[in-house]
Amino acid sequence: MAAQAEMLKPGEEGETLRELHLKVDMRFGSIKVVPKSDEGNDANFPRNLHNAAELFLRVGMIDPAERLREKTAAMLDLYADNPDGKTGLRIGRGVVCWSCGHCGVPKSGGDAKEKTPPGPCGNCGEVEQINWLRISLNKGENLPWIEAAPLSPKEAAKKKKAADAAKRAEIEANVKKALLERISSQSTES
């Protein structure tokens, strides 16, 4: 299902209309947002991450809506790959941040109980505007949030170097191919 928003943004020449379509997986509905004690009776409180994405779009918070979709889809993709639970993953209770849209294990780790205040946000550090998440299967079994572990500076540099080398090799191959095509077309014209 696609969540949709039409939003007005003030501009110098008046207001412009921007329409956005954000693909939100229906499985986002199975990830419940756990309300804090003072939020439980609020009829407008988003009950799951699908509702949260809709809320972000409704109030014009495009970047947080996209971040929520990206982080949640990445977590669901990790589960789809049948992770071993050890290799390169952070595992724990997940949170959703209402300031930046980040979903994931908080900076403090995700091993706290529901009664413990969640946070801080793993992206922006927010401590107030966040809620715990509960990932439930149809059988009522709760799953932990899983995400790729952040790379160390040394690992990040190594990964960047490998990506740069791959990009350079791709560019060199394209240049070589173009030169060969040019030489080939010139020799057939002669």
Candidates 114, 32, 106, 102; CA nearest to 72 is: 102
Radius of gyration over every alpha carbon of the chain, rounded to an integer in angstroms:
22
| d(C-alpha 159, C-alpha 48), whole Å | 35
Asked if residue 118 has a cis previous peptide bond (ω within 30° of 0), the answer is no
Please give the chain's pLDDT, 190 residues, in tens.
444 444 444 445 555 555 556 677 788 888 999 998 888 788 889 999 999 999 998 898 999 999 999 999 999 888 888 777 667 788 888 999 999 999 999 987 766 666 778 879 989 999 999 999 999 866 677 888 988 887 778 887 888 899 999 999 999 999 999 999 988 888 777 6
d(CA 150, CA 70) in angstroms, rounded, equals: 16
How far apart CA 46 and CA 130 sit, in angstroms, is 12
**Structure tokens given for 171:** 């560019």
Strands 95-97 and 31-34: unpaired
Tell me the whole-structure pTM to 2 decimals: 0.68
